[in-house]
Structure 1
Amino acid sequence: MSAAASGEILRQLEQPDHERFSKLAAIIQHVNPDVLMLCEFDHPGLGGDDGAVARFCQHYLALSQHGQPAVSYPYRYCPPSNTGLAMANDLDGDGKITLPNDAQGFGEHHGHFSFVILSRYPLLDEEIKSWQTLRWQDLPGHQMPEGYYSAAACAELRLSSKNHVLVPVNVGGAILHLVCCHPTPPVFDGHEKRNARRNHDELALLTAIIEDAEHLVDDKGSSGGLPRDSRFVVMGDLNADMADGDGMKRAIRDLLLHPTIHRSVSSGRMTPKSLGGRFLRPWQPRRGRPSEWTHISGLRLDYVLPSANLEVLQSGVFWPDKKDPLRHLITDARGRERPQAGSDHRLVWVDIALK
């Protein structure tokens, strides 16, 4: 739900019968999550809702779509984003400041490709932590390409391409922390591998947050990350696959195999799976399991990773097989899986029990 022009998604949501939005809403209604992260949902870059999220909730989610029951999310968070936020210094070295290449995060306008969080349970807004302004060069052991950016650009460039946020949720008196981010894809770069390196380090920041690393300082000046022994869920399109793809594998491997992450969900028998992924024919050979793919390129990119101290009941990927009556929600009129039919990603869900 992103467009090159600012406000375009808001304008499109004025239509009550937008077919693609209707399909996306029907998928959400069918899976019926209590807490949901939507990636690539345009909203103001400084944070907050310009009306697009409210319209999607009111005119699509709150009304039955394709025979699915309506859902309601009274609690919403639209974090500020680095996407489309123009740099003061030239980033790509062409001698001028232009979007999207000279933005803190790739985007045609401030707030392009942002993410939002929807919840049935109260979000503790005053306790949200974020690391939007953390500079890339300030991450210990960073992988910034040496000599590629100017000294002035290095002194300004932030690490998070969108934002890294820690959002506490009050679930009937129990606190569950959401750790959310959407790292840059490790492609569209040159021999310097700037995007692959940034993806790696955005994942390293994610790991530092769940480790409560002492070197972390959030946007409010507070030290540390996730409180020790917290119950949490990592959520996001991480643009990284441990088996395939162009990314640097160490950071995603360190995250998925981290001792505080529920191993059965991250890499064991309870990894989210689908029946429909097996019908995909990627254009490149893949080593990963088709049942675990979440993207139509044949990659596992999207994750819901509960902490090891949570009880996991079940999990899945919404990717209907060819005989499923809901298959049309991910295909176009000719039965093809295309991004324009709904999304190039598939919804990933995990059911947990909070005792």
Structure 2
Amino acid sequence: MSAPAPGQILELTASKSDARLSRLAAIIQHTRPDVLMLCEFDHPGNGGDDGSVANFCRHYLERPQYQQQPIEYPYRYCPPTNTGLMSPHDLDGDGVLTLPADGLGFGEHHGHFGFVILSQYPIAENKIRSWQNMLWQDLPDNVMPANYYSEQAESVLRLSSKNHVVVPIEVGSQIVHLLCCHPTPPVFDGDEKRNARRNHDELKLVTDIINSASYLRDDDGGAGGLAAKDAFVVMGDLNADMVDGDGMKPAVRDLLLHPRLNHSVSTGKMTPKSLGGRFTIPWQQRKGRGTEWTHISGLRLDYVLPSSNLTVSQTGIFWPDKKDPMRSLICDERGRSRPQAGSDHRLVWVDIALSV
């Protein structure tokens, strides 16, 4: 749900009849998540909704799509993002400030490729924490490429390509903290591997937030990250696969094997799976299991990772089998699984049992 020019997604969601948005809405209506993170949804770069999220909810989610029942999300959060936020100093070294290359996060306009959170439970907005402003060079033991950025660029370049946020969801008497981010993909760079290195360090920041590392200061100056007893769920397109792909493996491996995560879901018997993913033929040879892929390139990139103190009942990936009538929601009119039909990613879901 992103477009090169600001306002285009607002116009699209106002149309009420876009076939791709209808398919995406039908997938959400079919899986019926109580809490949902949508990546690459354009909205104002400083946060908030310009009407695009409200339009998508009103015109698509709250109306039947492909014989699915409507669903409502009364609580919504559109965090500020670094995508398309112009750096005050030249980042790519060409001597001029232009987007997207000189954005603090890659984007054609401020708010491009942002993410949003929809919830059926109240969001404690006054307790949301973010690490949007943290500089990459301030991450201990960072792997920022040496001698690639100028000193001026290093002094302003932020670590998070979008934002790293902790969003408390109030479920009855319990609080579940969403730890959400969308790290940059580890490709589209050169020998310096700046994107691969940034992806690695964005994932390291997730781990440090879980660890409540002593160096951490959020955007309001608050120290540390999650508390030791907090129940939480890491959510996002992490653009990292522990087995395949171009990314640097240590950071995603450290995250998935973190002692505070539910290992049954992160790496064990309950990793989210699908029936349809195994029929995908990626353009590169892969070692991973097709049932765990969440992207049409044959990679596990998208994650819902509950903490070890949460009880998980079921997990899955919306990637229907060839004979499943719901498969039409990810295919074009000719029955081909194409990104243009809906998305190149697949929805990942986890059911958590709470005593409220």
Q: TM-score, normalised by structure 2?
A: 0.99
Deviation (angstroms), 1:149: 0.2
Provide the rounded CA distance (Å) in 2 between the counterparts of 1:241 and 1:10: 33
Which residues in structure 2 correspond to 1:181-330 (within 5 Å)?
181-330=181-330
Matched, 1:61 2:56: no
Provide the rounded CA distance (Å) in 2 between the counterparts of 1:317 and 1:56: 22
Provide the rounded CA distance (Å) in 2 between the counterparts of 1:58 and 1:66: 16
Deviation (angstroms), 1:16: 1.1
SS of the aligned residue for 2:219 comes to coil
SS of the aligned residue for 1:179 comes to strand
State the partner residue of 2:22.
Answer: 22
Consecutive aligned runs of 4 or more in structure 1 exceeding 4 Å deviation = none
State the partner residue of 1:120.
Answer: 120
SS of the aligned residue for 2:100 comes to coil
Provide the rounded CA distance (Å) in 2 between the counterparts of 1:278 and 1:162: 31
SS of the aligned residue for 1:340 comes to helix
C-alpha distance after superposition, 1:321-355 (max 9, x if no partner)? 11001010001111111110000000000000112
SS of the aligned residue for 1:233 comes to strand
State the partner residue of 2:141.
Answer: 141
State the partner residue of 2:154.
Answer: 154
Provide the rounded CA distance (Å) in 1 between the counterparts of 2:247 and 2:341: 27
Provide the rounded CA distance (Å) in 1 between the counterparts of 2:336 and 2:141: 44
Provide the rounded CA distance (Å) in 2 between the counterparts of 1:54 and 1:322: 33
Deviation (angstroms), 1:228: 1.5
State the partner residue of 1:168.
Answer: 168
C-alpha distance after superposition, 1:119-151 (max 9, x if no partner)? 000000000000000000000000000000000
Deviation (angstroms), 1:116: 0.1
SS of the aligned residue for 1:326 comes to helix
Which residues in structure 2 correspond to 1:98-113 (within 5 Å)?
98-113=98-113
SS of the aligned residue for 1:196 comes to helix
Provide the rounded CA distance (Å) in 2 between the counterparts of 1:337 and 1:137: 41
Structure 2, unaligned stretches of length 5 or more?
Answer: none
Among all aligned residue pairs of Structure 1 and Structure 2, give the percentage whose two residues are the same amino acid: 69
Deviation (angstroms), 1:251: 0.2
State the partner residue of 1:76.
Answer: 76
Provide the rounded CA distance (Å) in 2 between the counterparts of 1:57 and 1:13: 9
C-alpha distance after superposition, 1:201-230 (max 9, x if no partner)? 000000001111111000001110111111
Task: Give the aligned residue type for 2:32.
Answer: N
Deviation (angstroms), 1:173: 1.4
Provide the rounded CA distance (Å) in 2 between the counterparts of 1:175 and 1:306: 13
Provide the rounded CA distance (Å) in 1 between the counterparts of 2:198 and 2:191: 14
State the partner residue of 1:3.
Answer: 3
C-alpha distance after superposition, 1:81-109 (max 9, x if no partner)? 00000000000000000000000000000
Q: TM-score, normalised by structure 1?
A: 1.00
